[in-house]
Structure 1
């Protein structure tokens, strides 16, 4: 139960932080706010694709790194990896 809470919390916080970083970088790079709704027909294809690719990659990477760090902390605290993250082979 503790691992589920740690894993979820670390992934959510990392995702929120990554979105903030990406939004700030987007404004500095483009001079305007990122699209609120990339699916909207009023958003250009180029902007929608660029935002989707950048946000998907950055948020996914941040969540993976945070979950790995949380799993490492869990392993150091308990002496084993959380169920489902054990090494195979």
Structure 2
């Protein structure tokens, strides 16, 4: 039974990793778009550049950090719920056929 649990955990890790990558990419695009529409400027690409004000660099870092984390939390929780539901249906179907 332990082998089965490890296999399911590996499946979740693989799914979670792929979902995480897709979420990070999409969140970065959405946050960048929102930043540009809100400020009228492209998002800072180099926060160490002295051409970007300190306030803008810090503001973008805060918005990006919070936005990315919120997106990751929401997506991971949703994916986990879907995976658990799928796993329960799969286990139920296996029990019925046994």
Is the shorter-chain TM-score for this pair beyond 0.5, marking a shared fold? yes
Residue number in structure 2 paired with 1:50? 59
Query: Rg bigger for which structure?
Result: 2
Which has more helix, going by share of residues?
Answer: 2
Length-normalised TM-score, structure 2: 0.74
Give the Cα–Cα distance (whole angstroms) in 2 for the partners of residues 10 and 40 of structure 1. 32
Q: For residue 5 of structure 1, what is the aligned residue in structure 2?
A: 14
Extract unaligned runs of 5+ from structure 2: 1-9, 89-98
C-alpha distance after superposition, 1:28-50 (max 9, x if no partner): 11111010011333321101110
Q: Distance in 2 between matches of 1:39 and 1:8?
A: 30
Shift in Å, 1:6? 0.9
Give 1:62 deviation, angstroms.
0.4
Task: Point out where structure 1 has 5 or more consecutive residues left out of the alignment.
Answer: 80-89
> How many pairs align?
79
Separation in 1 of the partners of 2:79 and 2:56?
Answer: 34
CA RMSD of aligned residues (A): 1.2
Q: Offset at 1:54?
A: 0.2
Could you tell me whether the CA contact under 8 Å between 1:22 and 1:55 is conserved in 2?
yes
Conservation of the 8 A alpha-carbon contact between 1:3 and 1:74: yes
Counterpart of 2:71 in 1: which secondary structure?
helix
Does residue 1:31 correspond to 2:40, yes or no? yes
User: Does residue 73 of structure 1 match 2:74?
Assistant: no
